[in-house]
Amino acid sequence: GAVVSQHPSRVICKSGTSVKIECRSLDFQATTMFWYRQFPKKSLMLMATSNEGSKATYEQGVEKDKFLINHASLTLSTLTVTSAHPEDSSFYICSALLRDRERNTIYFGEGSWLTVV
């Protein structure tokens, strides 16, 4: 299948600082990418839909000023967690939409572990 890569895979940051996570589609162009977060033993929760060249669409209850999403190119979307707090510690996962006529497939990255201390 197609490859989606995230970086960093693990990051530790101090409270109050900002941290950026990158999501790249390595072998295809993705006009649409998605960001999720996942807590231990829980399912994935969709945070936002990222569209290349336009503003992201956030799910209800997700603070857009805290979780900044930028999708500046067809292969890269970034999630910046601003003014991080310990409760932002989580597993963040991105996915990218591969359009193939009607058979659109969504591929996920490996995920990024964020720990805020």
Partner 1 sequence: DAKTTQPPSMDCAEGRAANLPCNHSTISGNEYVYWYRQIHSQGPQYIIHGLKNNETNEMASLIITEDRKSSTLILPHATLRDTAVYYCIVRVGGKLIFGQGTELSVKP
Q: Does 49 bind partner 1 (CB under 8 A)?
A: yes
Q: Does 76 bind partner 1 (CB under 8 A)?
A: no
Q: Which one of residues 13, 44, 74, 76 is an interface residue with partner 1 (CB under 8 A)?
A: 44
Residue 16 beta carbon to partner 1: minimum distance, rounded to whole angstroms: 27
**Alpha-carbon distance 70 to 96, whole Å?**
14
Q: Does 67 bind partner 1 (CB under 8 A)?
A: no
Q: Which two tokens stand for residue 87?
A: 């409760």
User: Closest CB to partner 1 among 74 and 82?
Assistant: 74
- Taking the CA atoms of residue 8, residue 50, residue 66 and residue 62 in that order, the dihedral angle to the nearest 10 degrees is -120
Looking at residue 42, what DSSP letter applies? Answer: S
100-104: Cβ within 8 A, 24+ apart: none
The residues binding partner 1 (CB under 8 A) are 1, 4, 6, 32, 34, 36, 43-46, 49, 91, 93, 95, 97, 103-111, 113
